Chain A
Amino acid sequence: MSEKGNADSEAPPVVLVANRGEIAVRIIAAARRIGASPVLAASAADADSPAARLADRVIVIGPAPVAQSYLRPELIATAALQAGASVVHPGYGFLSEQPELAELLEIEKIAFAGPRPETLRAVGDKSSARKVALAAGVPVAPAVEVDDVETVAGLGDSIGYPLLIKAVFGGGGRGIRLVNDAGELARLAPQAAAEALAAFGNGALYLERFYPAARHVEVQVFGDGEGRAQIFGDRDCSVQRRHQKLIEECPAPGLSVATRAVMHDASRALVQALAYRGAGTVEFLVDTQSEAVVFLEVNARIQVEHPVTEEAYGIDLVAAQLRLALGWDPELPDVPPVPSATVIELRINAEDPENDFRPSPGTISRVRWPGGPGIRVDTQLEDGYRFPPFYDSLMAKLIVRAHSRDAAVAAARSAAATVEINGVTTTLALHEFVLSHPDFIRGGVTTSWFGPTWEHRSEQRMASVR
């Protein structure tokens, strides 16, 4: 690891923030917290963003399109050199899980706030991640790789229906298809291969058993890079639309002690087997019918929903990532598997939930957030901010902590109701709906709950207007 961070006790180490939006603001805050100097690598569209103004310096790496800026490892590495950075924090998305950036930085002796490049490769494609998981004794779903899309029917029978067609190199829920019988499989597999080739540059597919009524539960891990693993509880992220998470909470409600132990133990084994370095997440499906737990994937980065864990345990995961990358003690305590508080995060996106979640970029004329006990807002919004059309639709995360789940749901509902965002349409309406819904209040909805439930509401509203 680089010793640059401590080499000169006069000058604070420089942290290059290689991301944008709310997570850039978040990383800058963590850099300040550890006494480092944050420098932002920004596209021309973000050169005057709120994150840019919070940083000590901004380095413009390219034009607005991500393919010419945030997705170019050599531009980020050049910016890190220009900044005199001791460490680069990639945030989530963009280059966070690309071994190329981590390798370029290794050559330049600049630390990367993430796992080693070989770890990124080991968990980066799903079939290799699955092999790693199997070797570590982590429970996985029945699955098989596709050799030839023209003769998949037999493979489908060996897994059983329903099943999912997934791209080996896919991510973010893209390119996943649900198949109910052999006929559908034969028809959809070639399409899926073509789509995967176009989207991910590789058409390799695998088939995986589908659990129609499952929850998405994930475990927050932190490794010291030498085989020591710390577990920071779990999160339920089952409120999703088209595989995009909308609401997350810590801890996952209503899990039996045994189910939780399976996930935590498996995650610990995986971190130890990989000698995993830094923050990561191990994602699982929990079948609500059988309570079976199956491994989904490893997210080798800080995640969007990391604040629920931070608030539940009173820790700073991003600061810990930076400290570890600088060769310092990450200063993370050992914590119990279940925190004493419940934390809920609402993702507020620039989308119109009443119109099929249509994108809604534009200028934020005025924005006001709630305050009070247990309320945290991670955002880049400010009055007059022009929400750019070039990037993703996440505007803010409203994070609410309370002593019990019931209290957290009520507090989140009340906090959401007082949020004021003028100028663009947001997904706030869906949060008010979900937080008032008896199924969500009871806890433990499945990943296929939100879609049809929201559609049903929309139909009822249409009917009542007539």
Chain B
Amino acid sequence: MTDDATPSWQHLLDLVAQLDSGSYDSASVTYGDVSVQLSRSGPLSAPVPSSASTTPATTSPKPSGTIIASPMIGVFYRCPSPGAPPFVEIGASVEPDTTIGIVEVMKMMNPVSAGVNGTLTSFLVRDHEQVEYGQALAVVAEASSQ
């Protein structure tokens, strides 16, 4: 920071927002005599949505593997367009940049990538289902863990 005066809330907010977008495990920043510590252990915990109205999605017994979480609130689509084959089938192998579906927010299409190497073992939401930020979308059995 440019001066050594006490940081304002705005300074801190900016800093935390900046740090939060990084993939750190822990971070500690000191300026002036204020220190900020951030840590993140394990993958982002997916908040459990309270969707009382919708029928339960694909019922799968405790998925073991890596969860792919929704990057946005929106509607999840497994196919690039109506009638087209899905981006990936269950049982297909995926790489980190493999698109497994899209989340649509107000006509904006946001591709969702697998993020890891492995085999896509199940979807936890149905095609066209409303999803929230952080909601578990699918499970991948990672290649290294097989």
A interface, CB within 8 angstroms of B: 44, 47-48, 57-67, 69, 74-75, 77-79, 82, 104, 174, 351, 355-359, 389-393
Within 8 A of A (CB), among B113-136: 130, 132-135
**Nearest A residue to B45, CB-CB:** A44
Expressed in whole angstroms, the Cα–Cα distance for A212 and B135 within the complex equals 54
**Contact A357/B133 with A44-B47, A62-B72, A78-B74 known, Cβ cut-off 8 Å:** no
**Contact A358/B34 with A58-B50, A63-B20, A78-B74 known, Cβ cut-off 8 Å:** yes
Q: Across the interface, do A359 and B50 meet the contact criterion of CB distance under 8 Å?
A: no
Cβ of B27 within 8 Å of any chain A Cβ, yes or no, is: no
Which residues of chain B are within 8 angstroms of A351 by Cβ–Cβ distance? Answer: 9
Q: Across the interface, do B106 and A57 meet the contact criterion of CB distance under 8 Å?
A: no
| Nearest CB of B to A454, in Å | 14
Jot down 8 A-B pairs with beta carbons below 8 A, ordered by A. A48-B47, A60-B47, A61-B132, A65-B17, A66-B13, A351-B9, A389-B36, A392-B9
Which residues of chain A are within 8 angstroms of B20 by Cβ–Cβ distance? Answer: 63-65, 390
Q: Across the interface, do A65 and B16 meet the contact criterion of CB distance under 8 Å?
A: yes
Q: Across the interface, do B7 and A57 meet the contact criterion of CB distance under 8 Å?
A: no
Expressed in whole angstroms, the Cα–Cα distance for A357 and B12 within the complex equals 13
Q: Across the interface, do A57 and B105 meet the contact criterion of CB distance under 8 Å?
A: no
Q: Mark B42-72, 1 if CB is under 8 A from A, else 0.
A: 0010010110100000000000000000001
| Nearest CB of B to A42, in Å | 9
**Nearest A residue to B48, CB-CB:** A47
Which residues of chain B are within 8 angstroms of A393 by Cβ–Cβ distance? Answer: 9
Among candidates B16, B44, B52, B134, residue contacting A57 with C-beta atoms closer than 8 Å: B52
**Nearest A residue to B12, CB-CB:** A359
Which residues of chain A are within 8 angstroms of B16 by Cβ–Cβ distance? Answer: 64-65, 389-390
Which residues of chain A are within 8 angstroms of B144 by Cβ–Cβ distance? Answer: none
Which residues of chain B are within 8 angstroms of A357 by Cβ–Cβ distance? Answer: 6
Q: Across the interface, do A389 and B73 meet the contact criterion of CB distance under 8 Å?
A: no
Expressed in whole angstroms, the Cα–Cα distance for A393 and B11 within the complex equals 12
Expressed in whole angstroms, the Cα–Cα distance for A67 and B13 within the complex equals 11
B interface, CB within 8 angstroms of A: 5-10, 12-13, 16-17, 20-21, 34, 36, 44, 47, 49-50, 52, 72-74, 105-106, 108, 130, 132-135
Which residues of chain A are within 8 angstroms of B108 by Cβ–Cβ distance? Answer: 74
Which residues of chain B are within 8 angstroms of A389 by Cβ–Cβ distance? Answer: 12-13, 16, 36
**Nearest B residue to A59, CB-CB:** B132
Q: Across the interface, do B49 and A391 meet the contact criterion of CB distance under 8 Å?
A: no
| Nearest CB of B to A62, in Å | 5
| Nearest CB of A to B38, in Å | 9
| Nearest CB of A to B133, in Å | 5
**Nearest B residue to A61, CB-CB:** B73
Expressed in whole angstroms, the Cα–Cα distance for A347 and B143 within the complex equals 54
Expressed in whole angstroms, the Cα–Cα distance for A393 and B105 within the complex equals 31
Q: Across the interface, do A390 and B130 meet the contact criterion of CB distance under 8 Å?
A: no
Expressed in whole angstroms, the Cα–Cα distance for A389 and B9 within the complex equals 8
Which residues of chain B are within 8 angstroms of A69 by Cβ–Cβ distance? Answer: 133
Among candidates A60, A104, A390, residue contacting B49 with C-beta atoms closer than 8 Å: A60
Expressed in whole angstroms, the Cα–Cα distance for A62 and B130 within the complex equals 14
Which residues of chain A are within 8 angstroms of B21 by Cβ–Cβ distance? Answer: 65
A58-B49, A78-B106 known; 12 new pairs, CB 8 Å cut-off, are: A60-B49, A61-B132, A62-B72, A65-B17, A74-B105, A74-B106, A82-B130, A359-B7, A359-B34, A389-B13, A389-B16, A391-B13
**Nearest A residue to B17, CB-CB:** A65
**Nearest B residue to A69, CB-CB:** B133
Which residues of chain A are within 8 angstroms of B130 by Cβ–Cβ distance? Answer: 82
**Nearest B residue to A358, CB-CB:** B6
Expressed in whole angstroms, the Cα–Cα distance for A351 and B10 within the complex equals 13
**Nearest B residue to A390, CB-CB:** B16
**Nearest B residue to A104, CB-CB:** B106
**Contact A60/B134 with A47-B47, A74-B105, A82-B73 known, Cβ cut-off 8 Å:** yes
Which residues of chain A are within 8 angstroms of B105 by Cβ–Cβ distance? Answer: 74-75, 78
